[in-house]
């Protein structure tokens, strides 16, 4: 069965059906997410903070993205796998950007790439699409520019900023992007963008008016206790605490001798054992 095509999302929008995207970064996570019904998976450069322990997405490299995207592709059969283009993999020059986007499809097996920004990346998006690389846009609080924004602040609040975001979204659509992520912008603005575009919008911290939503795997599953102070993330489980409890129970059982039991051990033939005991 071939993977879903990126056009599926536009069909869902046309039919008025909402959809959920979720991040995954490895084989196990990707398998679970697809088994749960996700049709689109993002190998986000949030990898940097939730998996690699950096304090932002800025240090993530192309090699990191290729490595993790390969694992996600191996863990999925049908899902659309979108791979993030990391910081400075597309900003320096267009030829390098094309080669890097090509790597994510050719070497890592992604279905599509995602890159951040509006008018300044539109030419690049057009060229990628013309060359057969499906592109997802990303507007609003684009994490690779966190140093420029001076922190994780809601974007698009002033009339000028909101108008720029609307224009950028239109320009991405015209350049051939198949969807656009809207991150941390006011809900009414996200609704307006969604109504004005024929391609789907995928929101994170952008309210219920988007066509789709995206959540970060570790945030929605409660892997970290502090929840990284994210208002837009909803916890559907508290796996961090469950994992710790399970590991604690294992350590305690090893220490008190109650694990392993016969059930987890392999027997040996009595006569072989007898011969051994005799010989040594
Ligand atoms: O890197 C990521 O996980 C993302 C989502 C938050 C949209 O870009």
Which domains are present in the chain? 7-237 (3.20.20.60), 242-279 (no CATH)
Mean pLDDT to the nearest integer, 231-257: 96
Give the atom of ligand 1 at the shortest distance from the alpha carbon of 114: 8
Report pLDDT digits (tens) over 49-62: 999 999 999 999 99
pLDDT at residue 160 is higher than 90: yes
Does ligand 1 come within 6 angstroms of the Cβ of 201?
no
23 in contact with ligand 1, CB cutoff 6 A:
yes
Q: What is the pLDDT of residue 148?
A: 87
Q: Is the pLDDT of residue 227 over 70?
A: no
Does the pLDDT value for residue 229 go beyond 70? no
pLDDT, mean of residues 29-36: 98
pLDDT over 60 at 228, yes or no = no
What is the per-residue DSSP string for the chain? -PPPPTHHHHHHHHTT--EEEEE--SHHHHHHHHHTT-SEEEE-TTHHHHTS--SSSTT--HHHHHHHHHHHHHT-SSSEEEEEPPTTSSSS-HHHHHHHHHHHHHTT--SEEE---SGGGHHHHHHHHHTT--EEEEEES-GGGHHHHTSS-----SHHHHHHHHHHHHHHHHHT-SEEEEES--HHHHHHHHHH-SSPEEEESS-TTSSEEEE-HHHHTT-STTGGG-TT---S--HHHHHHHHHHHHHHHHHHT-SS-GGGS----HHHHHHHHHH-
pTM of the model: 0.95
Q: How far is the CA of 276 from the centre of ligand 1 (A)?
A: 60
Q: What is the pLDDT of residue 230?
A: 79
């Amino acid at each position: 069965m071939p993977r879903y095509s990126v056009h599926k999302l536009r069909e869902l929008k046309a039919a008025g059906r909402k959809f959920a995207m979720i991040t995954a970064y490895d084989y196990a996570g990707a398998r679970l997410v697809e088994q749960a019904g996700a049709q689109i998976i993002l190998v986000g450069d949030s990898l940097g903070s939730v998996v690699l322990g950096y304090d932002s997405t800025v240090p993530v490299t192309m090699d990191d993205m290729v490595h993790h995207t390969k694992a996600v592709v191996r863990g999925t059969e049908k899902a659309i796998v979108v791979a993030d283009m990391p910081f400075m993999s597309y900003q320096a020059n267009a030829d390098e950007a094309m080669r890097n986007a090509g790597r994510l499809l050719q070497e890592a097996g992604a279905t599509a790439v995602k890159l951040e920004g509006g008018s300044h990346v539109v030419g690049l998006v057009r060229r990628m699409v013309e060359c057969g690389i499906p592109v997802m846009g990303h507007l609003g609080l684009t994490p690779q520019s966190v140093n420029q924004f001076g922190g994780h602040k809601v974007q698009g609040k002033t009339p000028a900023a909101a108008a720029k975001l609307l224009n950028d979204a239109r320009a991405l659509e015209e350049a051939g992007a198949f969807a656009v992520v809207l991150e941390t912008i006011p809900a009414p603005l996200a609704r307006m963008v969604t109504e004005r575009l024929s391609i789907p919008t995928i929101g994170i911290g952008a309210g219920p008016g988007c066509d789709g939503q995206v959540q970060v795997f570790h945030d929605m599953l409660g892997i970290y206790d502090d929840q990284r102070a994210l208002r837009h993330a909803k916890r559907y489980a508290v796996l961090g605490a469950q994992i710790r409890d399970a590991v604690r129970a294992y350590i305690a059982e090893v220490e008190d001798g109650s694990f392993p039991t016969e059930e987890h051990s392999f027997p040996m033939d009595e006569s072989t054992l007898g011969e051994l005991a005799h010989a040594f």
